Amino acid sequence: MMNIVLLIVLFLVFGLLNFYVFIRGVQALPAGFKIPYAILFWAVVFSFLGGRWLENSYPSLAADVLTWIGSFWIAALVYLLLAVLLLDILRLANRFLPFFPDIITGNYARAKIITAGVILGAVGLTLLGGYINARNPRIVHLDIAVDKKAGSLQNLNIVMVSDIHLGTIIGRSRIESLVNDINALNPDIVLIPGDLVDGSVKAVLRNDSGEELKNIRSRYGVFASMGNHEYIGGSEEICEYLERNNIMMLRDQSVKIDKAFFLVGREDLSSRRAGRPRKALSNLMRNVDPKFPVILLDHQPSDLQEAADAGIDLQLSGHTHYGQIWPINYIVEAIYELAWGYKRAGGTQYYVSNGVGTWGPPVRVGNRPEIVQIQLTFK
């Protein structure tokens, strides 16, 4: 019931924000353009919902086109809102303390069209830059030491990639490029803390885009935990598909690697919606020997203290995207204790990645996607 209420609220907010931008656009246009503008505007607004529906029901080129259009619109809406809000603040201030030059007040209709054109151009350039940025992940290098022995193993070259969001937007060619980047780092182990798949497994199966994952080369293999998006499109089917492509899914499980260290993967917090509430971390640690190094994959960095209390040495998380689109990063920072980056608290170390893929808009503004290489040494 709560999920339905939340969904209704989100739809209402989305609709009202779009309506605000729509009305300001209508006010800027001459009479003859208003009807075509209204038709085009609302067609674009609902394209994302239509594309996602088709993605699950009838995967096709039409679903892809609608999803791409709608995804870009979500990013455009953010910056159009900021621009319109700023204009309204300036207009309000001008009423009390006039400062607009005569060139604006003398021909207000022309000034509105020019302003609209400038805003659209600026938003378009922002989206283009964000799109290019989103397709070019950087490599983040970390050196982390754990004060434990790992058998005869002295160091471990970890490659971590979170929030790939494999699906309509992140397709086969992007995965092929990602696999090449991972292999170039010569990893001992590859770790994926959730949201490997965007949601609809049908969008992935249509082009079998996950098949490229089989080409990842690492000494100990590729391990992943569940993310919230794995629970959107059918968690069991998604897990079966990923495991067919050489991804070892750890679902509230622990595994000992090479008699040297333990790897623990948690169910995501969203698992309770699928009738599979995750186990307490303390329960998962009952099968773990704390004398060995312990690495935890937990998609959402929601309770960092829990890992410290359980004796985890290194927690790897994602989920936040660090907002993905400025200025949403400020909201993310207010929600999470660690929204992005490295932190140490006592004997536990954490890294929250902003992800290598994107959700919704194929755009990143204010941060770059990342592949994280961790040189982990044992003492």
For residue range 267-295, what is the model confidence (pLDDT) as tens digits?
Answer: 999 888 777 889 999 999 999 999 999 99
Which H or E element spans position 308? helix 304-309
Q: Read off the pLDDT of residues 304-322 as tens digits, 9 standing for 90 and up.
A: 999 999 999 999 999 999 9
Cβ count within 10 A of residue 102:
7
CATH number at residue 183: 3.60.21.10
Look at residues 140, 148, 203 and name the one whose alpha carbon lies nearest to residue 175: 203
Element (H, E) at 151: none
Q: Is 225 found in the same domain as 174?
A: yes
Cα separation, 52 vs 218, whole angstroms:
34
One domain, residues 117 and 148: no
**What is the C-alpha separation between 246 and 149, in angstroms, rounded?**
29
Please compute the mean of the pLDDT values over residues 242-262 and round it to a whole number: 95
Name the domain boundary from 113, 133, 153.
133
- Between CA 1 and CA 3 the distance in angstroms is 5
Which domain, by its residues, includes 29?
2-133
Residue corresponding to tokens 């100990």: 220
Do 97 and 125 share a structural domain? Answer: yes
Contact, 218 vs 179, CB < 8 A?
no
Beta bridge partners of 253: 265
207 and 126 in a common domain: no
Q: Count of domains in the chain? A: 2
Q: Are 21 and 147 in the same domain?
A: no
Taking CA atoms, 290 is separated from 161, 284, 313, in Å, by 26, 12, 9
The verdict on 191 and 293 lying in the same domain is yes
Domain boundary among the residues 116, 133, 150 is at 133
- Write the pLDDT tens digit of every residue in 215-247: 999 999 999 999 999 988 788 899 999 999 999
- Could you tell me if 116 and 152 lie in one domain? no
pTM: 0.91
Q: Is the dihedral of CA 67, 317, 233, 190 positive or negative?
A: positive
* Cβ neighbours around 55 below 10 Å, total: 23
pLDDT digits (tens, 9 = 90+) for 84-112: 999 999 888 888 888 777 656 667 778 88
| Judgement on whether residues 44 and 92 belong to the same structural domain of the protein | yes
**Contacts of 339 by beta carbon, 8 Å cutoff, 6+ apart:** 301, 320, 322, 323, 329, 332, 333, 352
- Long-range contacts formed by 50-53: CB under 8 A, 24+ apart: 51/168, 52/199, 52/200
Q: Are residues 56 and 165 in the same domain?
A: no
pLDDT over 70, % of the chain:
98
Last residue of a domain, one of 85, 106, 133: 133
Looking at the structure, do residues 65 and 211 belong to the same domain, yes or no? no
Q: Is 59 in the same domain as 148?
A: no
Task: Tell whether the model's pLDDT for residue 3 goes beyond 70.
Answer: no
Q: Is the pLDDT of residue 37 over 80?
A: yes
State whether 213 and 359 are in the same domain. Answer: yes
- Gap between the Cα atoms of 289 and 285, Å rounded: 8
pLDDT in tens, 54-69: 888 888 889 999 999 9
